[in-house]
Structures are given as structure tokens and as C-alpha cells.
Amino acid sequence: MAKTKGKTKDAKQETPLRAETGRRAGAASLSQAESGPSPATGAPAAQGHLPLFYERPRPLHLTEHADLALKTPANFAFAATTVALPILLGEFLAAGKDYPIVFGPGDVPAPVAFMGLGKGENLFVQPDGTWRRGAYVPAYVRRYPFLLVDSPENKRRILFVDEASPNVTRGKGTPLVADGKPTEAAKNALKFCEAYAFDQQKTREFCEALVAQDLLETRNITITLPGGLDLIVWETSSRMVIDAGSSEVRSTM
């Protein structure tokens, strides 16, 4: 974990999945719970920049997605080339046991956990698509293929599902809709996404407090991998860079 200049309170131990949902502002729902017209649009960011992993997110619809199902067990191959993943405040204690956590660039630096040392390398996704046994699986990965999106029109949050996800199928699998109603799998996905959104807001507030108190420092590090390959990881005020192949080994940690 990236060190700060001063002491901060310990992060809460529960993961976003266990976070309490009763005091959150606003409500969340499945799209068109009354089985109305199928939503053809409405992807996050107006079909613009999409979050990591998401390719074709759509509101989970009780009619359009009547035969949509989740493949089980989940296959994490979609994250096999992801070297860093977003991490939440509520995950710091659990994730920090397995991954270095650093704060990325930006006006409000966000915490990320490093999965590997080389570009396109996630050391925790195994060749068969499973996550390394015993290692913590970040909530961002567990949330996929679902996503909670604000709906300004009715002041509710709507559950989206990435139709392009390799873990989503038609027919066989764990159904998301049965007899025109959301299944327990869909309800659990909604609860998880609500909890994730809540902890995401708390994480942003935490990071804003770190910036306000000037508690973050830029650190530079060079790592020599087995076999003699040198890996330089350094951070500037505008970007974080990973560079392999340097002949010089030094550390300013």
C-alpha cells in the first residue's frame, strides 16, 4: 500500500457485498419491472467512455432478458491482462494482504491494486480462468458483468448487465429472470452493486480528505525481476507509467 505522511484510521473490514444498504440515498431497481417496452439505449456515459471490462451494457429488462443467465462458476479470463484494478476503502485490509495499493494520478487520486508487474499481466488469473486460490478477489471484478447507473428521469438507479460478457449466456446457467420476475441472482447482483456504489462514494470522500490534508506523496521504485529483468514503476503528477527493460536499478522508496 502506498504510504501517507500521517496516520489514518483503519479501513472497515467488511467487503462491499456485506455493506449495509438501509441508509443509502435514492433507490435502485431492475429496468422496466412492469415488463414494459424494451430499452434499446441507455448505456452508461451515453455510449461514450465505458468502465474497464464493459463493452455492451444494457438495463436488465424482465422481458428482453427473460432467458439471460450467468455461467457458473465465474471465469475471470476477462481480467487476465489487467495489471491494475480499482479498489475501495472497505477492501483495503483484505486486498492489502495480497496486492500493493497505490493512489493513481488526478485531482482526486483513486486507489488501485496492482495484479502484476508487467504490461498486460495479471499474476492472479490462472490459465483456466480461475482466480489464484486463497487470494482476495477485488469487488470490481466480482461486480462484473453488472453495473448500477443513475437514472435522472425517475431519480432511481438501474441495474445494467454487460451483454458482451463471457460470463453471460442465453438459456443455460443461473437465470436472472424467471416467470417475469427477477431471480435471487438478479436481486443479489442489485444489492451488491448498491453496496459497491455506497463504498465507492465513501472511497472518494476518503481520497478527497487525503488531498485536502496533503497526506499523499509521489514515490518512485525500480524492481529487478527474477532473471535480471528490470522494471521501473514511477508516478508523476499527471500519469502512472510502468516501463520494463531498464538497465539501471535504483529505488527512492
- Per residue in 142-175, pLDDT (tens digit) is 999 999 998 877 778 899 999 999 999 998 899 9
The closest of 72, 193, 106, 200 to 144, measured between CA atoms, is 193
Residue 94 backbone dihedrals phi, psi, to 5 degrees? -75, -45
The whole-number pLDDT of residue 14 equals: 35
Torsion sign across C-alpha atoms 56, 57, 61, 67: positive
pLDDT greater at residue 64 or residue 24: 64
- Of the pLDDT bands very low, low, confident and very high (cuts 50, 70, 90), residue 199 is very high
Determine the Cα–Cα distance for residues 176 and 170; give it in Å rounded to an integer: 10
Q: What is the mean pLDDT of the chain?
A: 78
The whole-number pLDDT of residue 30 equals: 62
What is the mean predicted confidence (pLDDT) over 33-47?
42
The whole-number pLDDT of residue 250 equals: 35
What's this model's pTM, rounded to 2 decimal places? 0.76
Determine the Cα–Cα distance for residues 201 and 89; give it in Å rounded to an integer: 9
Percent above pLDDT 90 for the chain: 53
**Residue 188 confidence (pLDDT) above 80:** yes
**Residue 77 confidence (pLDDT) above 60:** yes
